[in-house]
Amino acid sequence: MFLSIKDLKKSFGEDEYKTEVLKGIDFEIEKGEICVLLGPSGSGKSTYLRALNRMNDTIDGARVTGEIMYEGVNISDPKVNVYEVRKQIGMVFQRPNPFPKSIYENIAFIHRREGIKDKKKLDEIV
């Protein structure tokens, strides 16, 4: 199986203020298959996609449970390198979807990951 999702749940908040957005999604797709997520605004499509490449890791109070198997690896395991996951599972959204950092930090982020540490060079890139 190329991508297999089992009992995927996503919630925001804590205890009595917790809001469950995704409720036990099961899904499988074979390599080469085409899949469409269709639904009205607010139905959880983008939330689901964000869970696939662990973009929720940076959101305080966000909790994702379940199993996301990609090419035999459980990518929801905290030991899995999130940057390697994002190289394999890319996202394109209708609107910009930056990380909760400054514009500068969002742009400089990948360049730092690629080894550029010189502030002057980063300033020039940004």
Q: What is the pLDDT of residues 8-43, one digit of tens each?
A: 999 888 777 788 889 999 999 999 998 888 889 888
**Amino acid at residue number 86:** R
Tell me what the mean pLDDT of segment 64-86 comes to: 89
| Nearest Cα to Cα of residue 49 among 81, 90, 84 | 90
Q: Which of 34-38, 67-71, 91-95 is predicted least confidently? A: 91-95
The pTM of the full predicted model, rounded to 2 decimals, is: 0.69
